Structure 1
């Protein structure tokens, strides 16, 4: 039976990316990203909102692009897959962390849009280190096929 592990997110970066280098020299970028869900309560008629925080990880050339262009508050489109890592710390306590391993990141708005509180009329796509300007009316289908990342093993304690 076939299966699918694919995630699409549009949200804002919650913290400056953390960049690490693996023992093999590959860069790894980690950052949090918030997505918001809004609805009107049927019972009260009031607007409700829920913020979900996601742990996003990018590897290799994509991590290099994150290091250069991603900052707190920046609006992004992220395409990737869900990965759950488990480890035991030095005190014997088991930890679990669910992450989004990014295959593709699209920058929505200008670099200064986060600070200005608005978004520009363009988006910039970065996929494994290449970038392409795309139209403001893009859809997920316009992004093309996802690029599969190499299977990198990463210990969260490194």
Structure 2
């Protein structure tokens, strides 16, 4: 049996970070995902899908995600139920995320600048390890500065230079 979901959409509001009585972080947010349609091309429809993240991933999402940001979420669908104040059974369907990729840089200024594609260098967070967007600086070939005309903070940019890696550094 398989229960896996991958969604790409925009946050409808800032994530809400809370803590359980045991001190476990939990964040909830809603992702607006465009719906495929075949009718009038002027009308766009979207599904609004509730997302839940836990622990370090919850704190990372609360710190880095904001309303309107494009994000990819990977997780599983969960259906839970509870009895409300009127004694009625309420069913809730949500995605429990174990991996979130931030598909836009936080400093995007209108016009889509700073947008990364799904395979680019956008930061990611996962339930297994927290923030995975890299960090630190890397000086690969001895020349200390990179001046490519802008404020390039991508630690993985190679500027066309070869990368020196010894066989001891490879995991295979």
Same fold (TM over 0.5): yes
Higher relative contact order (CA 8 A, sep 6+): 1
Runs of at least 4 residues off by over 4 Å? none
Hey, what's the Cα distance between the residues in 1 that align with 2:27 and 2:68?
A: 16
Could you say which structure has the larger radius of gyration?
2
**What is the aligned counterpart of 1:69 among 57, 61, 64?**
64
Structure with more strand by fraction: 1
TM-score normalised per structure 1: 0.73
> 1:35-114 maps to which residues of 2 (within 5 A)?
35-41=33-39, 46-47=40-41, 48-113=43-108
Hey, what's the Cα distance between the residues in 2 that align with 1:71 and 1:99?
A: 19
Residues 83-141 of structure 1, C-alpha deviation per residue, up to 9 Å, x if partnerless?
A: 0110001221211110000000000011133x635252341111131313599xxxxxx
What is the total number of aligned residue pairs between the two structures? Answer: 128
Gaps of 5+ in 2: 135-153, 157-172
Structure 1 residue 38, shift from structure 2 partner: 4.4
Distance verdict in 2 for CA 1:80–1:26, change over 3 Å: same
Gaps of 5+ in 1: 136-158
